[in-house]
Structure 1
Amino acid sequence: MLVPRPHLSNLLKREQHRLQLLSAPAGYGKTALVHEYLQGLEQPGQVVWLRLGGRAQTLESLNSALASAFGVAADAVLALLGSGKVGTEPPLSRAGSLLHGSTVNCRSTLACEEAIASHEDSKIRLVFDDLPAELPTDLNHWFDQLLSLHNPHLQILVTCRQRPDWNLPRLMLDGQLLDLQARHLALRPDEFEALINAMAPDTDTASRERLWHQTGGWCAGVRLLLPLALGDAGSSLLGQYLDRELLSRLSEDQLEVLCGLAHLSKASAELCEQLWEGQQAGRVFNSLLQCQAFLVPVDHQPGWFRLLPLVAQPLQGQLSPGPLNRLRLRACQLLSVLGHVDDAVEQALCADQPEVAANYMERLWLSWILGERHLNTLMDWRERIEPQLLQSSPRLIYLCAKALLFSGRLDEAQECLLRLGRFVPLPDPQRNRRLLANWQGLFGTLHALRGNTEQASLHCRAALAVLTHQDWLSVLLCHCILARIAMQTGDLTEAQALLQSSLELARRQGSHESEVLVNTDRVRLMMLQGELSQAQALLRTELKRMTGNRTQPCSLLGRLMFLHGELLLQLGHTDEAGQVVRAGLVAVRDCCAPFVLNGYLLLSELASRNQEREKAHLMLYEAERRMHWGKIDSACYEGPITAQKARIAQREQTAPTRLSVVPDYQDDLTPRELSVLKLLAEGMSVREVGSHLFISQNTVKTHAKNINVKLGACRRTQAINSAKAMGILA
């Protein structure tokens, strides 16, 4: 089953370097990608495809095959390629054979005889498919000579499982190397979904989530594991595949270290060196990296890698309980020293040491919860650690309460916050005031999520009067809550000042995750102010930063994508909005935070605008299911879902016959039109509205006319009633 990968094939077309190197373990679609790239070229030129099959090669066998393909003597191959002058006879007729039965296939699937015979393009492309891991010294030297030839029309494409021992740094410095590795070749979430839909479209959401977590975008892994996910255990060839493609190629030392890594969430050469003292485990770890043993880089943590879960699982039964627990506890200590506290917590829990895990949790930065999928991780820890341990200190209570608030589990968050009373008063008056202020900041957030804006404002302002720079995250949270309240009440100047202060605070603390959250509110403010181009520019900047070097999806990225979809919808780009929102839902497939609701609301609105009533209601049903599954408080989702249902119902009531003109619902109200509508709903006259907004009466009338058209109304009162039914007006 072939999934088109235009972003990669286009990259190969765009980056026309001397060497295009695709280096990854088996099953990452390297050969298929080269096929797709060459098939997409208008003029591929002369293509010679050598299928090496990973088998040992010699300089003589490889040189002889190329000489046969070009119809020259073996010692003239480099000179020929350096000059770029090839014979006019199609090389397919002169294809020779390589050692161990490999063949030269110049056709591949490209039907390239016509391109070669016509010679409209003088480009020469040599494809070395599945280059063996070990090459003799003289053959490596030959490749270095080949790559140093001064022929601008020569291009080398290599697929391999282990990076060759060539002068790659020099090629990179000369701008002559495109290096695609496993992290680039792994399926993206949308490609993963396309593959599942093609192979087994009825696969449920939970199975898809497990498959994604276990395979990490490894194409062959998805295809091997999918029958298991569907309950067809007999068709699984996973164990045989791993034995053949990986384990049989490793030494005893490599196998020992790899079996240990199967129990760790991540590892580095330094960690391995200390875990297996006296065994040169750092060198062994590097050799595993070199031979592409399914160790994938950890995002934004240079030098750290994790073993693909699908590969780790079959190896986890190799260690007996005693040595395994010693390994886990040693790893727990080392990871905490190296600053990876969350991984230390996980190892302590796996070693059945919840007290140790709770002790390490106290060392976590409070802003840690904002990044990656850490919210899900913390909620999982709460299920595995006894409640009395999580209630043993104010810091742990604060951390858990914040996680519960962000997860929309408001009743549990309130119970958690009330437990802070057991620690009040503290002996130190200043610490006691700060503890109460942090408590008030979270309580203000709780009230805001429940819609009690007055109480939320009182708590947040009281907290800000006491909080210090040490409590910067609580300060930022209070500022954001107050800014959202200001936006709801129309005080956009106050909102802008609060968000600007929050942005500066996040930047000074070096917290990119906090900066992203603040910028989502800034985008909403820009949308209210009618500054749509500025909002779009800021969103694009953040999306680019979030997707730059990331291999795994994350909740912050999904939040940005939903906001981007909302902005696109407001701009009238409905098709693009749908694509962005659906991609966002894929990125947050296993996230249980309330903001996931936004994606389903947007898809429901898109379906409603397209007069797809059943689909619009289905999206709302799915939204409710996700909220129930995440145990999210009804205050976080009932209001928005009810408003969307009213919006759909209003459209149905005003639906046109076969005879009348279809009302234009393609554009939402602009921020200015919304301001005019709110003032008219308060009973102001046209003159009063103009005076209040500093615009002319004619401008007010124009806005009122546009409002009527967009809401399908004939009169002002009808427009106001429609807006209330749709949830536009409270």
Structure 2
Amino acid sequence: MTAMTPCPQPPGFLPRLSPHHQLRSRLSRPLLETTARIRLLCAPPGSGKTALMTECLLQAPAGCTVHWLPLAGAALSVDGFCRRLAQALGMQGADEAALTEELARWRSPAWLMIDDYCRQPDPLLDALLDRLLAAGSPALVWWIGSRRRPSCNWPRLLLDDALYECEAHALALTPKELAPVLRHLPPEQAEAVAQRIVLHTGGWCAGVRMALLQKCDWSQRELPQQRADTLLDYLQRELFSGLTPELAEAWRVLAHFPRFSAGFCDHLFGVGEGTQYLSTLQALGCFIEPWQDSAEWLQVFPALSRLIMDEHWPQGRSWHRRACQWFTAEQDWKSAFEQALLAEEYEVAVSLLQHFTFEHLFEDRTVALLLSLHERQGEALMLGSPQLIGLMTAALLFAGRFGQATAWIEHLGRFLPQPSASLQRQLIARWQAQKGWLLHLQGRMDAAGEHFQEALAALGDDAWPARLLCLSGQTQQALLSADMNRAQAINREALRLARARGSLLFEGLLELDHAQWLEQRGTPDRADGLLADMQQLLSARGERPAPLLGRIALRRGRLALGMGQQSRAAGFFRSGLDDCLRSHDKRVLYGFLGLAQLAANRGDYAQAFVRLRDAERLMQQRQIPDTVYRGALLQVSSHFWLQQGRVELACEALSRVLKHYRGPQALQAPPATLALIARIEYLLMLARLRLGSGPADAVEQLDLWMGQAQARGMAALCTELHLAKAEALWLGGCRGQALETLRTAMAGVEKHQARQVLGELRQRAASLLLAHEAGLADGESGPLPEAGALSQRERQVLELIAQGHSNQQIADALFISLHTVKTHTRRIHAKLGVERRTQAVARAKSMGLWR
């Protein structure tokens, strides 16, 4: 029997799927294929249990009778449940004995689908269900959808292979399942929007549906205000209406805390009562779930917790004050500090900072909390000790607020002189360590290097965190100076010290330097493996170090992008971007740059430039100096302009930005972009060659740079320069040499997995790659194509392209087929050495084809 076969119930009892429902075979297939006679779906309201059961009902096998029993969560007596069950199954007897006897004798294949089993705990009803399940025939399959887990002998059923349970977290929608719903968007944008919706709703089906009903622009980062009202109304009807006032208040209170436990609840609500409240809320399926897979700590479902925290909460200060007291007693200093800030107990918050170390900065939201304290209180409470000043300075440097950090570093002078010469030297050394990092991040390499060296000479063994920071700074300076051997030696020394001190966080920070070294050596796969191992170790910690994991994700995104693994890169860039946004890390810039590059790889330059504008806007909003981001943004923008054929614009921007990195007042490149200056130089040279104003010795200059990179062991940069040389030869009309150079460079591309730079070459000089792939003879050479190289028909097609006509419009205008238009377009691109329409038009104008 199928869902279309008449059933004992009236037709109204048969469920119907929403026209917007997306079939989810990853959930329905295991439920349909399992041989277990009991299939349990236990999840909070709005999780899609009914829809999933309905989806399975519509796929019931032939010959199987389906009985649908909607209970709507109502409280039923034992007798009432027996009557409803007997009616659904078409049985005569309505007491337990008769039901048990008939269920045991059941022979024909059938499904009994109980939707929304009793929501309130009822030991008698659960015991009845347990007895009925135990007595049931294998021919009758039980499907049970419930907000709470009935108190049955599930372990025994599980051991007997009689139970299949679909867990609550599995019901969450995934971006892949949501993207097809956004069919009004281009596929790439739909995927990104689906990621954002799932991120903010946790994949909770009701939340996703409400978000889609708002028809908001999820491509932006702002949340729609209207959605909050809808969700609050939903919670009032589906959650709070079924709770006592005390339980509803307890749930609202707990939703304001990032995590809680039974002991924490006892402190808030009273010994015994708190534990009982928590246990009851869990039993009722009130969106209480484990916090970071912890066996002790719990949380309210984050999407709903954020919603509740946005509400006005007049009595919040007293609850946060109590929470601060509890975390302080537990010596959980970071949580106590956060609660003190929320309670507006600023003096208490400052007093708790005495327990903080530099490593606390890499715990989730610590930097954001310190910046919040700084914005509210300024310097009023934070100048009590060098330790407090150093902590705030480090937070400001991490966030990129160099101007404020400069003022805070100078406050250390308040504590001079020290009682002894030894203490005096240590304080000055700490000042030099932080001053060195400030200068290093500002691009002033020589002065920073002196401070690092002098600090290391004076810092004692107990100041090992400051020593590690100085060593990391020296490693990055060696990398920026292309001194690969020195960088490796310093990094090894630093890693030994971090491991000897048992500091996994510092080890992770230093492994980022190590990964940059491996990337420049041309082994991105080794760098990615190294960071993957570190990411796994850090994720296993009790407190997730989101800022450090964000940096690791961004670096892994860059590595994956370089190796041509675009889908992996997109995932890393998005997760790293979100972590860095939460922790106010200035390196959030590289998440935007990575996503922009992925958009450009797809040819979506509009989206690419939107990402760059988003990055610039955020940097300015967060008061980050333009020395941190301007060079990288202009270099990437110029790269896109070259690919689009906007050569003059790229040449002007590259010339302007290069002046900051050359001359007597030159700055070093930002630490995260080791090859920035080299890329600016060779891109500028290629741009000038395209304009006909490039240096006559361009190829010789590229050979010189390649030799230097090779001598220093910078295999990745050497490969880039090798490809640039092939492009320069091609632009100069030396076709045979260009193809020979490209063939040699391809060996480096394969060896060092430099697929991204090869793709960038294809976007700038498609004809070179086409000629290479066509296998042209080595000796074939000649000048760049002139206007006469295009046939008359090709000129006509190009003129219509310049006027903005589509391929179909061109076919109609010239009375040729669409296929012929595409063939002409490909030949035009190959002859002009371009890949896109806009590039072809710009190239034709520069050749004088028309004005």
TM bin, normalised by shorter chain, reads 0.7 to 0.9
Shift of 1:636: 0.9
Aligned to 2:86: 64
Distance 1:650 1:434 in 2: 52
Aligned to 2:364: 372
Distance 2:23 2:418 in 1: 60
1:604–1:619 contact (8 Å) kept in structure 2 = yes
Residue pairs, 1:101-500, within 5 angstroms:
127-134=113-120, 136-137=122-123, 139-141=125-127, 143-144=129-130, 158-169=144-155, 185=171, 218-221=204-207, 230=224, 232=226, 236-261=229-254, 264-277=257-270, 280-299=273-292, 302-307=295-300, 308-309=304-305, 312=308, 325-500=317-492
Distance 1:149 1:492 in 2: 73
> Relative to structure 1, is the Cα distance of residues 230 and 608 closer, same or farther in structure 2, using a 3 angstrom cutoff?
closer
SS of the residue aligned with 1:131?
coil
Q: Does 1:25 align with 2:44?
A: yes
Q: Which of 601, 616, 619 is residue 608 of structure 2 equivalent to? A: 616
Aligned to 1:627: 619
Shift of 1:488: 2.4
Aligned to 1:599: 591
Q: Which of 633, 637, 646 is residue 645 of structure 1 equivalent to? A: 637
Distance 2:308 2:378 in 1: 28
SS of the residue aligned with 1:436?
helix
Cα deviation digits, residues 560-607 of structure 1 (max 9, x gap): 333233222222234553454345445555553221111222233334
> Relative to structure 1, is the Cα distance of residues 523 and 689 closer, same or farther in structure 2, using a 3 angstrom cutoff?
closer
SS of the residue aligned with 1:293?
coil
Distance 1:283 1:483 in 2: 55
Distance 2:288 2:466 in 1: 38
> Relative to structure 1, is the Cα distance of residues 592 and 332 closer, same or farther in structure 2, using a 3 angstrom cutoff?
closer
> Relative to structure 1, is the Cα distance of residues 243 and 574 closer, same or farther in structure 2, using a 3 angstrom cutoff?
closer
1:486–1:492 contact (8 Å) kept in structure 2 = yes
> Relative to structure 1, is the Cα distance of residues 189 and 139 closer, same or farther in structure 2, using a 3 angstrom cutoff?
same
Aligned to 2:100: 75
Aligned to 2:71: 52
AA of the residue aligned to 1:534: R
AA of the residue aligned to 2:146: C
Distance 1:701 1:562 in 2: 23
AA of the residue aligned to 1:288: L
> Relative to structure 1, is the Cα distance of residues 456 and 336 closer, same or farther in structure 2, using a 3 angstrom cutoff?
same
AA of the residue aligned to 1:601: L
Q: Does 1:9 align with 2:34?
A: no
Aligned to 1:113: none
Where in structure 2 are there 5+ consecutive unaligned residues? 1-17, 217-222, 648-673, 683-697, 742-756, 762-851
AA of the residue aligned to 1:299: Q
Distance 2:415 2:516 in 1: 39
2:365–2:582 contact (8 Å) kept in structure 1 = no
The alignment-based identity, stated in percent, is 28
Shift of 1:162: 1.9
Shift of 1:480: 2.3
Shift of 1:382: 2.0
> Relative to structure 1, is the Cα distance of residues 694 and 475 closer, same or farther in structure 2, using a 3 angstrom cutoff?
closer
> Relative to structure 1, is the Cα distance of residues 388 and 134 closer, same or farther in structure 2, using a 3 angstrom cutoff?
closer
Shift of 1:230: 4.2
Shift of 1:503: 4.2
Distance 2:536 2:143 in 1: 29
Distance 1:172 1:369 in 2: 45
> Relative to structure 1, is the Cα distance of residues 398 and 76 closer, same or farther in structure 2, using a 3 angstrom cutoff?
same
AA of the residue aligned to 1:309: S
Distance 1:641 1:21 in 2: 53
AA of the residue aligned to 1:387: E
SS of the residue aligned with 1:159?
strand
The alignment's TM-score, normalised by the length of structure 1, stands at 0.73
Distance 1:140 1:329 in 2: 41
> Relative to structure 1, is the Cα distance of residues 375 and 16 closer, same or farther in structure 2, using a 3 angstrom cutoff?
farther
Paired residues, number: 654
2:173–2:203 contact (8 Å) kept in structure 1 = yes
> Relative to structure 1, is the Cα distance of residues 417 and 140 closer, same or farther in structure 2, using a 3 angstrom cutoff?
same
Distance 2:478 2:32 in 1: 47
The higher relative CO (CA closer than 8 Å, separation ≥ 6) is in: 1
1:265–1:306 contact (8 Å) kept in structure 2 = yes
SS of the residue aligned with 1:637?
helix
Q: Does 1:530 align with 2:509?
A: no
Q: Which of 715, 721, 725 is residue 708 of structure 1 equivalent to? A: 725
Cα deviation digits, residues 637-693 of structure 1 (max 9, x gap): 0111121123223334499xxxxxxxxxxxxx999x99xx99974875999998887
Give the root-mean-square deviation of aligned CA atoms.
5.3
SS of the residue aligned with 1:362?
helix
1:569–1:577 contact (8 Å) kept in structure 2 = yes
Cα deviation digits, residues 64-106 of structure 1 (max 9, x gap): 367449999843565468xxx634xxx6xxxxxxxxxxxxxxx
Distance 2:363 2:435 in 1: 22
Shift of 1:246: 2.1
2:105–2:137 contact (8 Å) kept in structure 1 = no
Shift of 1:22: 4.1
> Relative to structure 1, is the Cα distance of residues 177 and 562 closer, same or farther in structure 2, using a 3 angstrom cutoff?
farther
1:189–1:586 contact (8 Å) kept in structure 2 = no
> Relative to structure 1, is the Cα distance of residues 402 and 241 closer, same or farther in structure 2, using a 3 angstrom cutoff?
same
Where in structure 1 are there 5+ consecutive unaligned residues? 92-124, 656-668
Cα deviation digits, residues 272-310 of structure 1 (max 9, x gap): 223334563222222222223333443365423344435
